[in-house]
Structure 1
Amino acid sequence: MEAYSDFAYVYDIFMDNTPYEKWGGFVLDRLRRAGIEDGILLDLGCGTGNMTELLADAGYDMIGVDLSEEMLNVAMEKRACSGHEILYLAQDMREFELYGTVRAVVCFCDSLNYLLEEEELAQCFRLVNNYLDPGGLFIFDFNTVYKYETVIGDATIAENRDNCSFIWENFYDSEDQINEYDLTIFVEEDQKEGLYRRFTETHYQRGYRLDQIRRLLEESGLVFVEALDADTMQEVTEKSERVFCIASEHGKCGTGEAK
Protein backbone atom coordinates (compact mmCIF):
# COMPACT_ATOMS: atom_id res chain seq x y z
CA MET A 1 0.00 0.00 0.00
CA GLU A 2 1.82 3.08 -1.28
CA ALA A 3 1.73 6.26 0.79
CA TYR A 4 1.82 9.71 -0.77
CA SER A 5 5.07 11.52 -0.06
CA ASP A 6 6.31 14.45 -2.19
CA PHE A 7 3.11 14.39 -4.25
CA ALA A 8 1.17 15.31 -1.11
CA TYR A 9 2.33 18.92 -1.31
CA VAL A 10 0.96 19.45 -4.82
CA TYR A 11 -1.96 17.02 -4.52
CA ASP A 12 -4.62 19.72 -4.15
CA ILE A 13 -3.27 21.64 -7.15
CA PHE A 14 -3.75 18.69 -9.48
CA MET A 15 -7.02 17.59 -7.86
CA ASP A 16 -8.67 20.98 -8.30
CA ASN A 17 -11.41 19.48 -10.48
CA THR A 18 -12.50 16.96 -7.83
CA PRO A 19 -16.16 17.69 -6.92
CA TYR A 20 -15.77 17.65 -3.16
CA GLU A 21 -18.83 19.87 -2.69
CA LYS A 22 -21.00 17.44 -4.67
CA TRP A 23 -19.62 14.43 -2.81
CA GLY A 24 -19.98 16.19 0.51
CA GLY A 25 -23.57 17.08 -0.31
CA PHE A 26 -24.29 13.41 -0.97
CA VAL A 27 -22.72 12.41 2.35
CA LEU A 28 -24.63 15.07 4.30
CA ASP A 29 -27.91 14.08 2.67
CA ARG A 30 -27.49 10.41 3.59
CA LEU A 31 -26.35 11.24 7.12
CA ARG A 32 -29.36 13.45 7.73
CA ARG A 33 -31.74 10.89 6.25
CA ALA A 34 -30.38 8.46 8.86
CA GLY A 35 -30.85 11.02 11.64
CA ILE A 36 -27.10 11.55 12.09
CA GLU A 37 -27.07 15.33 12.49
CA ASP A 38 -24.17 15.65 14.92
CA GLY A 39 -21.54 13.63 16.75
CA ILE A 40 -18.19 12.12 15.82
CA LEU A 41 -17.39 11.03 12.26
CA LEU A 42 -14.28 9.30 10.94
CA ASP A 43 -12.79 10.27 7.58
CA LEU A 44 -10.79 7.18 6.62
CA GLY A 45 -8.00 7.82 4.12
CA CYS A 46 -8.60 11.52 4.68
CA GLY A 47 -5.63 12.70 2.60
CA THR A 48 -5.19 16.46 2.75
CA GLY A 49 -8.42 16.88 4.68
CA ASN A 50 -10.77 18.31 2.06
CA MET A 51 -13.76 16.13 2.97
CA THR A 52 -12.80 16.30 6.66
CA GLU A 53 -12.96 20.09 6.63
CA LEU A 54 -16.23 20.09 4.70
CA LEU A 55 -17.91 17.83 7.25
CA ALA A 56 -16.42 19.84 10.12
CA ASP A 57 -17.97 22.94 8.52
CA ALA A 58 -21.33 21.12 8.72
CA GLY A 59 -20.94 20.79 12.50
CA TYR A 60 -19.57 17.28 12.95
CA ASP A 61 -16.68 16.41 15.25
CA MET A 62 -14.10 14.94 12.91
CA ILE A 63 -11.33 12.37 13.12
CA GLY A 64 -9.09 11.95 10.08
CA VAL A 65 -6.98 8.84 9.51
CA ASP A 66 -4.36 8.50 6.79
CA LEU A 67 -1.19 6.47 6.26
CA SER A 68 0.73 9.37 4.72
CA GLU A 69 2.22 11.77 7.24
CA GLU A 70 2.93 14.19 4.39
CA MET A 71 -0.76 14.31 3.45
CA LEU A 72 -1.66 14.82 7.10
CA ASN A 73 0.82 17.71 7.34
CA VAL A 74 -1.15 19.48 4.61
CA ALA A 75 -4.42 18.63 6.35
CA MET A 76 -3.13 20.10 9.61
CA GLU A 77 -2.18 23.32 7.83
CA LYS A 78 -5.82 23.59 6.71
CA ARG A 79 -6.96 22.89 10.26
CA ALA A 80 -4.79 25.74 11.52
CA CYS A 81 -6.50 28.08 9.06
CA SER A 82 -10.07 26.89 9.68
CA GLY A 83 -9.81 26.60 13.45
CA HIS A 84 -11.65 23.27 13.48
CA GLU A 85 -10.72 20.88 16.28
CA ILE A 86 -10.02 17.89 14.03
CA LEU A 87 -8.06 14.94 15.38
CA TYR A 88 -5.65 13.56 12.76
CA LEU A 89 -4.07 10.12 13.19
CA ALA A 90 -1.29 8.59 11.08
CA GLN A 91 -2.62 5.04 10.75
CA ASP A 92 -3.10 2.29 8.19
CA MET A 93 -6.76 1.74 7.32
CA ARG A 94 -6.14 -2.02 7.55
CA GLU A 95 -5.35 -1.77 11.25
CA PHE A 96 -6.58 1.59 12.52
CA GLU A 97 -7.51 2.07 16.18
CA LEU A 98 -9.90 4.58 17.74
CA TYR A 99 -10.70 5.45 21.35
CA GLY A 100 -14.38 4.60 20.92
CA THR A 101 -17.15 4.30 18.38
CA VAL A 102 -18.25 6.92 15.84
CA ARG A 103 -21.61 7.71 14.28
CA ALA A 104 -20.39 7.29 10.72
CA VAL A 105 -17.28 6.51 8.68
CA VAL A 106 -16.62 8.10 5.29
CA CYS A 107 -13.91 7.11 2.81
CA PHE A 108 -13.55 8.92 -0.53
CA CYS A 109 -11.19 9.64 -3.44
CA ASP A 110 -10.75 5.89 -4.19
CA SER A 111 -8.79 5.36 -0.98
CA LEU A 112 -10.12 1.80 -0.73
CA ASN A 113 -8.67 0.98 -4.15
CA TYR A 114 -5.23 1.09 -2.53
CA LEU A 115 -6.12 -2.15 -0.76
CA LEU A 116 -4.94 -4.69 -3.30
CA GLU A 117 -6.25 -7.91 -1.76
CA GLU A 118 -9.80 -8.85 -0.86
CA GLU A 119 -8.68 -9.86 2.63
CA GLU A 120 -7.21 -6.39 3.20
CA LEU A 121 -10.51 -4.84 2.19
CA ALA A 122 -12.43 -7.26 4.40
CA GLN A 123 -10.18 -6.43 7.36
CA CYS A 124 -10.82 -2.73 6.84
CA PHE A 125 -14.58 -3.38 6.66
CA ARG A 126 -14.46 -5.44 9.88
CA LEU A 127 -12.74 -2.57 11.68
CA VAL A 128 -15.29 -0.09 10.34
CA ASN A 129 -18.12 -2.26 11.66
CA ASN A 130 -16.34 -2.57 14.99
CA TYR A 131 -15.96 1.18 15.45
CA LEU A 132 -19.42 2.25 14.27
CA ASP A 133 -22.16 3.13 16.72
CA PRO A 134 -25.20 0.83 16.56
CA GLY A 135 -26.92 1.61 13.27
CA GLY A 136 -24.02 3.84 12.16
CA LEU A 137 -23.28 4.38 8.48
CA PHE A 138 -20.27 3.64 6.30
CA ILE A 139 -20.29 5.88 3.21
CA PHE A 140 -17.52 5.42 0.66
CA ASP A 141 -16.55 5.33 -2.98
CA PHE A 142 -14.45 3.03 -5.14
CA ASN A 143 -13.18 2.92 -8.71
CA THR A 144 -14.43 0.03 -10.81
CA VAL A 145 -12.63 -2.55 -12.90
CA TYR A 146 -14.26 -0.93 -15.95
CA LYS A 147 -12.61 2.43 -15.21
CA TYR A 148 -9.11 1.02 -14.89
CA GLU A 149 -9.41 -1.50 -17.69
CA THR A 150 -11.33 0.48 -20.31
CA VAL A 151 -11.27 4.20 -19.49
CA ILE A 152 -7.72 4.66 -18.17
CA GLY A 153 -5.99 1.53 -19.44
CA ASP A 154 -2.43 1.94 -20.66
CA ALA A 155 -2.57 5.70 -21.06
CA THR A 156 -0.25 8.63 -20.52
CA ILE A 157 -1.69 11.84 -19.10
CA ALA A 158 0.11 15.16 -18.77
CA GLU A 159 -1.13 18.36 -17.13
CA ASN A 160 0.35 21.80 -16.50
CA ARG A 161 -0.39 24.36 -13.81
CA ASP A 162 1.17 27.78 -13.20
CA ASN A 163 4.21 26.53 -11.32
CA CYS A 164 4.09 22.74 -11.61
CA SER A 165 3.25 19.96 -14.02
CA PHE A 166 3.03 16.19 -14.04
CA ILE A 167 3.21 13.18 -16.33
CA TRP A 168 1.03 10.23 -15.37
CA GLU A 169 1.99 6.94 -17.03
CA ASN A 170 -0.69 4.32 -16.43
CA PHE A 171 -0.38 0.54 -16.77
CA TYR A 172 -3.20 -1.94 -16.16
CA ASP A 173 -2.73 -5.65 -15.51
CA SER A 174 -6.06 -7.22 -16.47
CA GLU A 175 -5.16 -10.62 -15.01
CA ASP A 176 -4.49 -9.32 -11.50
CA GLN A 177 -6.76 -6.27 -11.95
CA ILE A 178 -3.96 -4.08 -10.60
CA ASN A 179 -3.53 -0.55 -11.86
CA GLU A 180 -0.04 0.98 -11.67
CA TYR A 181 0.59 4.64 -12.28
CA ASP A 182 3.99 6.26 -12.36
CA LEU A 183 3.97 9.97 -11.57
CA THR A 184 6.72 12.32 -12.66
CA ILE A 185 6.19 15.75 -11.15
CA PHE A 186 7.98 19.03 -11.82
CA VAL A 187 7.64 21.83 -9.25
CA GLU A 188 9.04 25.31 -9.76
CA GLU A 189 11.60 26.23 -7.11
CA ASP A 190 13.24 29.34 -8.56
CA GLN A 191 11.11 31.46 -10.87
CA LYS A 192 13.90 33.84 -11.81
CA GLU A 193 16.27 31.05 -12.78
CA GLY A 194 13.51 28.88 -14.21
CA LEU A 195 14.56 25.96 -12.02
CA TYR A 196 12.24 23.04 -11.34
CA ARG A 197 12.53 20.14 -8.93
CA ARG A 198 11.67 16.73 -10.38
CA PHE A 199 10.43 13.79 -8.33
CA THR A 200 8.67 10.51 -9.06
CA GLU A 201 6.23 8.24 -7.26
CA THR A 202 4.62 4.92 -8.13
CA HIS A 203 1.14 3.99 -6.91
CA TYR A 204 -0.85 0.76 -7.15
CA GLN A 205 -4.60 0.40 -7.03
CA ARG A 206 -7.04 -2.42 -7.63
CA GLY A 207 -10.40 -2.12 -9.35
CA TYR A 208 -13.42 -3.73 -7.73
CA ARG A 209 -16.88 -4.73 -8.88
CA LEU A 210 -19.99 -3.88 -6.91
CA ASP A 211 -20.81 -7.56 -6.33
CA GLN A 212 -17.35 -8.05 -4.77
CA ILE A 213 -17.77 -5.03 -2.52
CA ARG A 214 -21.23 -6.11 -1.43
CA ARG A 215 -20.04 -9.64 -0.63
CA LEU A 216 -17.06 -8.38 1.38
CA LEU A 217 -19.23 -5.92 3.29
CA GLU A 218 -21.65 -8.65 4.27
CA GLU A 219 -18.87 -11.13 5.14
CA SER A 220 -17.38 -8.44 7.39
CA GLY A 221 -20.59 -8.02 9.34
CA LEU A 222 -21.87 -4.83 7.69
CA VAL A 223 -25.28 -4.52 6.03
CA PHE A 224 -25.33 -3.29 2.42
CA VAL A 225 -27.78 -0.39 2.02
CA GLU A 226 -27.32 1.38 -1.31
CA ALA A 227 -25.03 1.92 -4.31
CA LEU A 228 -25.13 4.67 -6.92
CA ASP A 229 -23.11 5.71 -9.96
CA ALA A 230 -21.08 8.64 -8.59
CA ASP A 231 -21.32 10.61 -11.84
CA THR A 232 -25.00 10.16 -12.70
CA MET A 233 -26.35 9.51 -9.17
CA GLN A 234 -28.41 6.78 -10.78
CA GLU A 235 -28.27 2.99 -10.71
CA VAL A 236 -24.83 1.40 -11.10
CA THR A 237 -24.22 0.01 -14.59
CA GLU A 238 -21.48 -2.00 -16.31
CA LYS A 239 -19.97 1.32 -17.42
CA SER A 240 -19.96 3.03 -14.04
CA GLU A 241 -16.47 4.34 -13.29
CA ARG A 242 -16.85 5.44 -9.67
CA VAL A 243 -19.45 4.04 -7.30
CA PHE A 244 -20.86 5.55 -4.12
CA CYS A 245 -21.76 2.88 -1.60
CA ILE A 246 -23.50 2.89 1.77
CA ALA A 247 -23.49 0.17 4.42
CA SER A 248 -24.68 0.15 8.00
CA GLU A 249 -23.36 -1.26 11.24
CA HIS A 250 -24.65 -4.62 12.39
CA GLY A 251 -24.17 -6.61 15.54
CA LYS A 252 -24.19 -4.12 18.42
CA CYS A 253 -27.07 -3.49 20.79
CA GLY A 254 -26.86 -0.16 22.54
CA THR A 255 -24.09 2.40 22.68
CA GLY A 256 -20.68 1.88 24.17
CA GLU A 257 -17.07 1.33 23.39
CA ALA A 258 -15.70 -0.60 20.45
CA LYS A 259 -15.43 -4.34 20.85
Structure 2
Amino acid sequence: MSYQQFAYLYDELMADAPYSKWLSFIKSAVFAYHPNTIRLLDVGCGTGSMPILLAKEGFEVTGVDLSSDMLMVAKEKADKGNVALSLFQQDMRELEGLGAYDCVTILCDSLNYILTEEDVKRTFLSAWNHLEPNGLFIFDVHSLHKINDIFIGSTFGSNDEALSYIWQCYQGEYENSVEHDLSFFILTNNDNYERYDELHIQRTFSAEDYSKWLNECQFEVLSITADFENHKPLEQSERILFIAKKS
Protein backbone atom coordinates (compact mmCIF):
# COMPACT_ATOMS: atom_id res chain seq x y z
CA MET A 1 0.00 0.00 0.00
CA SER A 2 1.33 3.40 -0.94
CA TYR A 3 1.48 6.28 1.51
CA GLN A 4 -1.00 8.08 -0.74
CA GLN A 5 -3.57 5.37 0.06
CA PHE A 6 -2.72 5.69 3.74
CA ALA A 7 -3.24 9.46 3.47
CA TYR A 8 -6.89 8.82 2.57
CA LEU A 9 -7.20 6.55 5.60
CA TYR A 10 -5.65 9.30 7.71
CA ASP A 11 -8.86 11.29 7.31
CA GLU A 12 -10.82 8.34 8.69
CA LEU A 13 -8.49 8.10 11.67
CA MET A 14 -8.82 11.86 12.26
CA ALA A 15 -12.60 11.90 11.90
CA ASP A 16 -13.01 12.96 15.54
CA ALA A 17 -10.30 15.64 15.44
CA PRO A 18 -11.61 18.99 16.77
CA TYR A 19 -11.31 20.87 13.48
CA SER A 20 -14.29 23.05 14.35
CA LYS A 21 -12.58 24.11 17.57
CA TRP A 22 -9.39 25.06 15.73
CA LEU A 23 -11.47 27.04 13.27
CA SER A 24 -13.30 28.89 16.04
CA PHE A 25 -10.02 29.55 17.84
CA ILE A 26 -8.41 31.05 14.74
CA LYS A 27 -11.44 33.19 13.90
CA SER A 28 -11.57 34.48 17.48
CA ALA A 29 -7.84 35.28 17.46
CA VAL A 30 -8.12 37.12 14.16
CA PHE A 31 -11.15 39.08 15.37
CA ALA A 32 -9.37 40.04 18.61
CA TYR A 33 -5.89 40.82 17.33
CA HIS A 34 -5.83 41.25 13.53
CA PRO A 35 -9.34 41.76 12.08
CA ASN A 36 -7.99 42.64 8.63
CA THR A 37 -6.51 39.17 8.13
CA ILE A 38 -7.00 37.89 4.58
CA ARG A 39 -3.95 35.84 3.58
CA LEU A 40 -3.22 32.81 5.75
CA LEU A 41 -0.39 30.25 5.58
CA ASP A 42 -1.15 26.88 7.16
CA VAL A 43 2.06 24.94 7.83
CA GLY A 44 1.88 21.17 8.29
CA CYS A 45 -1.46 21.15 6.49
CA GLY A 46 -1.62 17.37 5.95
CA THR A 47 -4.55 16.28 3.79
CA GLY A 48 -5.95 19.80 3.75
CA SER A 49 -8.91 19.48 6.12
CA MET A 50 -8.06 22.65 8.03
CA PRO A 51 -7.03 24.83 5.05
CA ILE A 52 -10.24 23.90 3.24
CA LEU A 53 -12.33 24.95 6.25
CA LEU A 54 -10.40 28.21 6.47
CA ALA A 55 -10.80 28.89 2.75
CA LYS A 56 -14.55 28.36 3.05
CA GLU A 57 -14.54 31.08 5.71
CA GLY A 58 -13.17 33.54 3.18
CA PHE A 59 -9.42 33.40 3.88
CA GLU A 60 -6.94 33.19 1.02
CA VAL A 61 -5.11 30.06 2.15
CA THR A 62 -1.76 28.54 1.24
CA GLY A 63 -0.92 25.11 2.64
CA VAL A 64 2.54 23.67 3.22
CA ASP A 65 3.47 20.12 4.15
CA LEU A 66 6.57 17.92 4.00
CA SER A 67 4.65 14.98 2.50
CA SER A 68 3.94 15.10 -1.23
CA ASP A 69 1.35 12.34 -0.84
CA MET A 70 -0.57 14.28 1.80
CA LEU A 71 -0.50 17.32 -0.48
CA MET A 72 -1.80 15.24 -3.38
CA VAL A 73 -4.79 14.21 -1.29
CA ALA A 74 -5.28 17.82 -0.15
CA LYS A 75 -5.36 18.99 -3.78
CA GLU A 76 -7.90 16.35 -4.76
CA LYS A 77 -10.13 17.30 -1.81
CA ALA A 78 -9.87 21.01 -2.62
CA ASP A 79 -10.62 20.43 -6.31
CA LYS A 80 -13.59 18.23 -5.45
CA GLY A 81 -14.95 20.91 -3.15
CA ASN A 82 -14.24 23.74 -5.60
CA VAL A 83 -12.01 25.38 -3.01
CA ALA A 84 -9.13 27.63 -4.11
CA LEU A 85 -6.03 26.39 -2.29
CA SER A 86 -2.34 26.91 -3.05
CA LEU A 87 -0.16 24.00 -1.90
CA PHE A 88 3.61 23.66 -1.56
CA GLN A 89 5.95 20.91 -0.37
CA GLN A 90 8.42 22.42 2.09
CA ASP A 91 10.02 21.77 5.47
CA MET A 92 8.53 24.06 8.13
CA ARG A 93 12.04 24.81 9.39
CA GLU A 94 13.10 26.14 5.98
CA LEU A 95 10.14 27.92 4.45
CA GLU A 96 11.12 30.11 1.54
CA GLY A 97 9.66 32.05 -1.35
CA LEU A 98 6.04 31.86 -0.21
CA GLY A 99 5.41 35.58 0.21
CA ALA A 100 4.06 37.45 3.24
CA TYR A 101 0.87 36.60 5.12
CA ASP A 102 -1.42 38.15 7.70
CA CYS A 103 -1.41 34.93 9.72
CA VAL A 104 0.69 31.75 9.92
CA THR A 105 -0.71 28.65 11.63
CA ILE A 106 0.85 25.34 12.70
CA LEU A 107 -2.02 23.22 13.99
CA CYS A 108 -2.88 19.70 15.13
CA ASP A 109 0.36 19.40 17.18
CA SER A 110 2.42 19.44 13.96
CA LEU A 111 5.09 21.49 15.75
CA ASN A 112 5.68 18.53 18.08
CA TYR A 113 7.45 16.75 15.22
CA ILE A 114 10.24 19.31 15.63
CA LEU A 115 12.54 17.66 18.15
CA THR A 116 15.23 20.17 19.14
CA GLU A 117 15.31 23.69 20.54
CA GLU A 118 17.32 24.91 17.56
CA ASP A 119 14.83 23.55 15.06
CA VAL A 120 11.88 25.01 16.96
CA LYS A 121 13.58 28.41 16.74
CA ARG A 122 14.27 27.87 13.03
CA THR A 123 10.57 27.14 12.56
CA PHE A 124 9.60 30.27 14.46
CA LEU A 125 11.96 32.34 12.31
CA SER A 126 10.51 30.77 9.15
CA ALA A 127 7.07 31.86 10.30
CA TRP A 128 8.37 35.35 11.19
CA ASN A 129 9.91 35.74 7.73
CA HIS A 130 6.55 34.99 6.07
CA LEU A 131 4.45 37.39 8.13
CA GLU A 132 3.47 40.96 7.43
CA PRO A 133 4.30 43.43 10.23
CA ASN A 134 1.98 42.74 13.20
CA GLY A 135 0.92 39.46 11.57
CA LEU A 136 -0.32 36.64 13.80
CA PHE A 137 1.43 33.35 14.49
CA ILE A 138 -0.93 30.69 15.90
CA PHE A 139 0.08 27.17 16.89
CA ASP A 140 -0.69 24.40 19.35
CA VAL A 141 1.40 21.69 21.02
CA HIS A 142 0.93 18.71 23.29
CA SER A 143 1.44 19.51 26.95
CA LEU A 144 4.17 17.91 29.05
CA HIS A 145 1.38 16.08 30.88
CA LYS A 146 -0.01 14.56 27.69
CA ILE A 147 3.37 13.35 26.46
CA ASN A 148 4.61 11.95 29.76
CA ASP A 149 1.45 10.85 31.57
CA ILE A 150 -1.02 9.99 28.82
CA PHE A 151 1.06 8.81 25.86
CA ILE A 152 4.22 7.16 27.22
CA GLY A 153 3.56 3.56 28.25
CA SER A 154 0.05 3.49 26.78
CA THR A 155 -1.47 1.32 24.07
CA PHE A 156 -4.47 2.32 22.00
CA GLY A 157 -6.33 0.30 19.41
CA SER A 158 -9.36 -0.27 17.24
CA ASN A 159 -10.77 -3.46 15.72
CA ASP A 160 -13.14 -2.01 13.15
CA GLU A 161 -13.67 -4.41 10.27
CA ALA A 162 -12.38 -2.17 7.48
CA LEU A 163 -9.54 -0.50 9.39
CA SER A 164 -7.95 -1.77 12.58
CA TYR A 165 -4.85 -0.53 14.34
CA ILE A 166 -2.57 -1.01 17.30
CA TRP A 167 -0.89 2.15 18.59
CA GLN A 168 1.85 1.74 21.18
CA CYS A 169 3.65 4.67 22.82
CA TYR A 170 7.21 4.47 24.14
CA GLN A 171 9.60 6.86 25.80
CA GLY A 172 11.58 8.66 23.13
CA GLU A 173 15.28 9.40 22.92
CA TYR A 174 14.83 13.00 24.05
CA GLU A 175 13.41 14.30 27.30
CA ASN A 176 9.63 14.83 27.00
CA SER A 177 9.45 12.88 23.75
CA VAL A 178 7.37 9.90 22.68
CA GLU A 179 7.64 7.32 19.92
CA HIS A 180 4.29 6.35 18.40
CA ASP A 181 4.60 2.82 16.98
CA LEU A 182 1.55 2.22 14.79
CA SER A 183 0.44 -0.90 12.93
CA PHE A 184 -2.59 -0.65 10.65
CA PHE A 185 -4.58 -3.55 9.24
CA ILE A 186 -6.63 -2.57 6.20
CA LEU A 187 -9.27 -4.75 4.57
CA THR A 188 -8.54 -5.13 0.84
CA ASN A 189 -10.94 -5.85 -2.02
CA ASN A 190 -10.15 -9.57 -1.87
CA ASP A 191 -11.12 -9.75 1.85
CA ASN A 192 -7.54 -10.02 3.04
CA TYR A 193 -5.87 -7.61 5.44
CA GLU A 194 -2.83 -5.61 4.45
CA ARG A 195 -0.51 -4.41 7.21
CA TYR A 196 1.10 -0.98 7.23
CA ASP A 197 3.59 0.15 9.91
CA GLU A 198 4.56 3.67 10.85
CA LEU A 199 6.77 5.30 13.47
CA HIS A 200 6.05 8.86 14.55
CA ILE A 201 8.28 10.73 17.01
CA GLN A 202 7.05 13.79 18.85
CA ARG A 203 8.54 16.03 21.50
CA THR A 204 7.22 18.93 23.49
CA PHE A 205 8.63 21.66 25.69
CA SER A 206 7.23 23.78 28.48
CA ALA A 207 5.00 26.73 27.72
CA GLU A 208 7.69 28.90 29.29
CA ASP A 209 10.29 27.59 26.83
CA TYR A 210 8.07 28.19 23.80
CA SER A 211 7.28 31.68 25.08
CA LYS A 212 10.95 32.48 25.63
CA TRP A 213 11.90 31.27 22.14
CA LEU A 214 9.09 33.27 20.59
CA ASN A 215 10.45 36.40 22.26
CA GLU A 216 13.97 35.58 21.09
CA CYS A 217 12.60 35.36 17.54
CA GLN A 218 11.00 38.81 17.87
CA PHE A 219 7.44 37.71 18.51
CA GLU A 220 5.21 39.25 21.14
CA VAL A 221 3.21 36.56 22.95
CA LEU A 222 -0.43 37.64 23.09
CA SER A 223 -2.12 34.58 24.56
CA ILE A 224 -1.33 31.14 25.99
CA THR A 225 -4.40 29.00 26.71
CA ALA A 226 -5.27 25.32 26.98
CA ASP A 227 -7.71 22.81 25.53
CA PHE A 228 -9.66 25.44 23.55
CA GLU A 229 -10.82 27.01 26.80
CA ASN A 230 -10.27 30.62 27.77
CA HIS A 231 -7.92 29.88 30.66
CA LYS A 232 -4.22 29.49 31.26
CA PRO A 233 -2.69 25.99 31.08
CA LEU A 234 -3.23 23.84 34.15
CA GLU A 235 -1.25 20.83 35.36
CA GLN A 236 -3.71 18.43 33.69
CA SER A 237 -4.12 20.41 30.44
CA GLU A 238 -3.45 18.40 27.28
CA ARG A 239 -3.19 20.90 24.42
CA ILE A 240 -1.49 24.29 24.73
CA LEU A 241 -2.44 27.01 22.25
CA PHE A 242 -0.34 30.08 21.47
CA ILE A 243 -1.15 33.35 19.76
CA ALA A 244 1.83 35.60 18.99
CA LYS A 245 2.41 38.72 16.93
CA LYS A 246 5.32 39.69 14.73
CA SER A 247 6.85 42.65 16.52
TM-score of the pair, normalised by structure 2: 0.94
Q: For residues 147 and 62 of structure 2, what CA distance do their matches in structure 1 show?
A: 30
Q: For residues 160 and 15 of structure 1, what CA distance do their matches in structure 2 show?
A: 16
Q: Match of 2:239?
A: 242
Q: Which has the higher contact order (CA 8 A, sep 6+)?
A: 1
2:30–2:37 CA contact under 8 A, matched in 1: no
2:46–2:74 CA contact under 8 A, matched in 1: yes
Q: For residues 146 and 153 of structure 1, what CA distance do their matches in structure 2 show?
A: 10
**Structure 1, 165-174 or 82-91: larger mean CA deviation:** 165-174
CA shift, 1:131, in A, is 1.1
2:37–2:103 CA contact under 8 A, matched in 1: no
**Of the candidates 206, 211, 224, which is equivalent to residue 209 of structure 1?**
206
1:139–1:247 CA contact under 8 A, matched in 2: yes
**Superposition misfits of 4+ residues, deviation over 4 angstroms:** none
- CA RMSD in angstroms, aligned pairs only: 1.6
2:34–2:136 CA contact under 8 A, matched in 1: no
Q: For residues 104 and 174 of structure 2, what CA distance do their matches in structure 1 show?
A: 32
CA shift, 1:162, in A, is 4.7
Unaligned runs of 5+ in 1: 251-259
Q: Match of 2:162?
A: 163
Q: Match of 1:224?
A: 221
Q: For residues 101 and 41 of structure 2, what CA distance do their matches in structure 1 show?
A: 7
CA shift, 1:127, in A, is 1.3
CA shift, 1:13, in A, is 0.5
CA shift, 1:233, in A, is 3.4
Query: Which amino acid counterpart does residue 72 of structure 2 have in structure 1?
Result: N
Deviation digits for residues 59-114 of structure 1 (CA, Å, limit 9, x no counterpart): 01110000011111111111111112211001000101133210000111100000
Over the matched positions of the two proteins, sequence identity in percent amounts to: 36
Query: Which amino acid counterpart does residue 136 of structure 1 have in structure 2?
Result: G
Give SS of 2:29's match: helix
Give SS of 1:28's match: helix
Unaligned runs of 5+ in 2: none
Q: For residues 38 and 175 of structure 1, what CA distance do their matches in structure 2 show?
A: 37
CA shift, 1:229, in A, is 0.7
Q: For residues 117 and 212 of structure 2, what CA distance do their matches in structure 1 show?
A: 10
Query: Which amino acid counterpart does residue 137 of structure 1 have in structure 2?
Result: L
Q: For residues 231 and 113 of structure 2, what CA distance do their matches in structure 1 show?
A: 25
After TM superposition, the structure 1 = structure 2 runs for residues 1-259 of structure 1, keeping only pairs within 5 Å, are 7-173=6-172, 176-190=175-189, 193-250=190-247
Q: For residues 73 and 175 of structure 1, what CA distance do their matches in structure 2 show?
A: 32
CA shift, 1:39, in A, is 2.0
Query: Which amino acid counterpart does residue 227 of structure 1 have in structure 2?
Result: I
CA shift, 1:6, in A, is 5.8
Between the two proteins, the alignment pairs up a number of residues equal to 245
2:228–2:241 CA contact under 8 A, matched in 1: no
